[in-house]
Chains A and B, each alone.
Chain A
Amino acid sequence: MRELVVLSGKGGTGKTSLTAAFASLAKNSVLCDADVDASDLHLLMAPEIKQRTDFKGGGIAVINPDQCTGCGLCMEVCRFDAVKEGFKVDEIECEGCGVCVDFCPEEAIDFPIKTCGEWYISETRFGPMVHARLGIAEENSGKLVVLVRQEAKKLAESKNIDLIITDGPPGIGCPVIASLGGATALIIVAEPTVSGLHDMERVAQLAANFKVPGMVCVNKADLNPEQAETIEKLAEKKNLSILGRIPFDPVFTESMIQGKNIIEYKNDSKISQVVREIWDRIMTSPAMNK
């Protein structure tokens, strides 16, 4: 079982558009959307949801006013300023640590497990897909990412599929860390801008900490060929293999509007040819063929 995770550091570099194109080229893979916070892959995949499950995150403190004597101990022990005037818990501030629950002398605080999202097993025209939606303003995104990746693995095993393609979240924090552990290889989609370079360096460093082999492709490369070269040089220095350059092309947006990936939308275009070459390099890379 191999899992390819697509990351970028910076948002909006083209992770999801490329993941969708890879799904088209892979023929037989399980798709996994690990960007549970602002997921977009389903917009290109039109998944037909087969199974829908609640995602239970952590607990949250709820003070029962009938039992509360107003002693104030919960306010004292809470380090997140979540207990507000009138002994009401601010759900957004509550970290789910439960310290108030354990300290309340009246046992007046409940700690129900909160449903903070949903995850799905779906069918798409490119095969099965596991995806999720974290509720607005919720925590535990890392936990949900771990869950969708595990479910994708289970699904791949049960269907005898050897490849998982995972669309990752932006950044380098909790959900990205949760996307990385145990991945076979990582594709970093960089853009040739000062911020693209800066952010790619940080995500590459994170990948190195996790010892996941990485490959880099530069999207919208012709916007600044010099910067594209700087990114490739940095990639080389960091032992990341270079997959190629994709030129800036409005056809990506056009295909997105049609709900299609670039390969489906314009299979014979130059852009599709470049993406196919990148895909071949990924699949023949040493990292994917250990």
Chain B
Amino acid sequence: MIISVASGKGGTGKTTVATNLALSLESGVQLLDCDVEEPNCHLFLNPVIEETETVFTPVPEIDADKCTFCRKCVDICRFKVIAILGETILTFPELCHSCGGCMAICPEDAITETGRQLGVVEKGRLNNIDFVHGRLRVGEAMSPPLIKKVRSFARSDKINIIDAPPGTSCPVIAAMKDTDFVLMVTEPTPFGLHDLRLAVEAVRILGIPHGLVINRSDIGDSRVQAYAGRENLPILMEIPFDRRIAEAYSKGRSIVEEMPEWKEKFLKLYSQVEKLVE
């Protein structure tokens, strides 16, 4: 089982839901933090990191001695990575999407690949919860390959919880695609509703069953609830605004740590997801 936690809008409580769900399930669960630009789950889980792996993406390296300046590599590259100025060949590896086209087309075998660092993947655990996250290198633009790397640690014998990045474009799609269920976390405000609609569209394109968690459910207005009703979106959980939760969060403490009675609610959330997946 793979459950992704997504939202459209940032700061609605994805990390809160993902970490509290993992902490409530206690064992047989793996938390994969795919918000590689700004991973936060570790701040609430405090896992012991056991392994760190640096992740690279292939980029071209051109042997100037073999190059005949035929320009085939320049022409095939849609990302303007390679430029020829007279008898000088230049590469801009930070623009490369690692398609391998230049290497495949070069008639002189002058191109090999070297790596551009995308970031690191760290693996660890807290008691019986397995933990993996990616940390995008600051300055790196491309997050989907690192997200896919984190995703590759999903295990079929475990409940995998994925904390997705905000938005609706390629990084979120990389995090949600082919998961069994999407828990959409929103807040009942105009911004929350607007971005929820976009996120729902994205999930529908991917055809994944989904349900809603409304965080800070008593602030704002009732338009999110009305929207959920119209669109037949099941509301699986509501978390009211509670200054204790907000203050605990600010210190890196989870809801279930602060208020153990919530554990049962998160377990119930999981069993509802399980039913909807079947």
- Genuine A/B complex: yes
The answer to the question of B105 belonging to the interface, with a C-beta cut-off of 8 Å to chain A, is yes
23 chain-A/chain-B pairs, Cβ below 8 angstroms:
A11-B9, A12-B10, A38-B10, A38-B198, A43-B191, A97-B78, A98-B101, A99-B100, A102-B101, A103-B104, A137-B168, A138-B169, A141-B167, A171-B166, A171-B167, A177-B141, A193-B250, A198-B43, A202-B37, A202-B38, A205-B138, A253-B220, A257-B189
> 1/0 per position for B211-254, CB-CB distance to A under 8 A?
00000000111000000000000000000000100110111100
Would you give the shortest CB distance from A203 to chain B, in whole angstroms? 8
Asked whether, in the complex, the Cβ of B250 is within 8 Å of the Cβ of A227, the reply is yes
Closest B residue, CB atoms, query A117: B169
> 1/0 per position for A73-105, CB-CB distance to B under 8 A?
000010110000000000010011111001100
Asked whether, in the complex, the Cβ of B99 is within 8 Å of the Cβ of A99, the reply is yes
Query: Which B residues lie within 8 Å of A9 (CB)?
Result: 38
Query: Which A residues lie within 8 Å of B140 (CB)?
Result: 173
8 nearest CB pairs, A to B: A11-B10, A12-B11, A97-B99, A171-B37, A224-B250, A99-B101, A194-B252, A37-B167
What is the size, in residues, of chain A's interface with B at 8 Å between Cβ atoms? 59
Name B43's contact: one of A173, A195, A205 (CB within 8 Å): A195
Closest B residue, CB atoms, query A41: B191
Known: A171-B165, A198-B40, A253-B189. A95 touches B141 (CB 8 A): no
> 1/0 per position for A251-270, CB-CB distance to B under 8 A?
00100110100000000000
Query: Which A residues lie within 8 Å of B15 (CB)?
Result: 195
The answer to the question of B171 belonging to the interface, with a C-beta cut-off of 8 Å to chain A, is yes
Asked whether, in the complex, the Cβ of B97 is within 8 Å of the Cβ of A97, the reply is yes
The answer to the question of A274 belonging to the interface, with a C-beta cut-off of 8 Å to chain B, is no
Query: Which A residues lie within 8 Å of B162 (CB)?
Result: none
The answer to the question of A59 belonging to the interface, with a C-beta cut-off of 8 Å to chain B, is yes
Would you give the shortest CB distance from B246 to chain A, in whole angstroms? 5
Report which A residues bind B (CB closer than 8 A): 9-13, 16, 37-38, 40, 43, 58-59, 77, 79-80, 92, 95-99, 102-103, 134, 136-139, 141-142, 169-174, 176-177, 191-196, 198-199, 202, 205-206, 209, 223-224, 227, 248, 250, 253, 256-257, 259
Would you give the shortest CB distance from A19 to chain B, in whole angstroms? 12
Looking at B37, B206, B220, the one whose CB has the most chain A CB atoms below 10 A away is: B37
Asked whether, in the complex, the Cβ of A134 is within 8 Å of the Cβ of B169, the reply is yes
* C-alpha gap A134/B246 in the complex (Å): 32
What is the size, in residues, of chain B's interface with A at 8 Å between Cβ atoms? 57
Would you give the shortest CB distance from A217 to chain B, in whole angstroms? 16
Closest B residue, CB atoms, query A139: B170
Name A137's contact: one of B8, B76, B169 (CB within 8 Å): B169
Known: A137-B173, A138-B170, A194-B252. A173 touches B104 (CB 8 A): no
The answer to the question of B194 belonging to the interface, with a C-beta cut-off of 8 Å to chain A, is yes
The answer to the question of B177 belonging to the interface, with a C-beta cut-off of 8 Å to chain A, is yes
Known: A10-B10, A102-B105. A40 touches B195 (CB 8 A): yes
Asked whether, in the complex, the Cβ of B101 is within 8 Å of the Cβ of A172, the reply is no
Within 8 A of A (CB), among B41-64: 43-44
Query: Which A residues lie within 8 Å of B24 (CB)?
Result: none
Asked whether, in the complex, the Cβ of A38 is within 8 Å of the Cβ of B168, the reply is yes
* C-alpha gap A202/B221 in the complex (Å): 34
The answer to the question of B120 belonging to the interface, with a C-beta cut-off of 8 Å to chain A, is no
* C-alpha gap A102/B9 in the complex (Å): 39
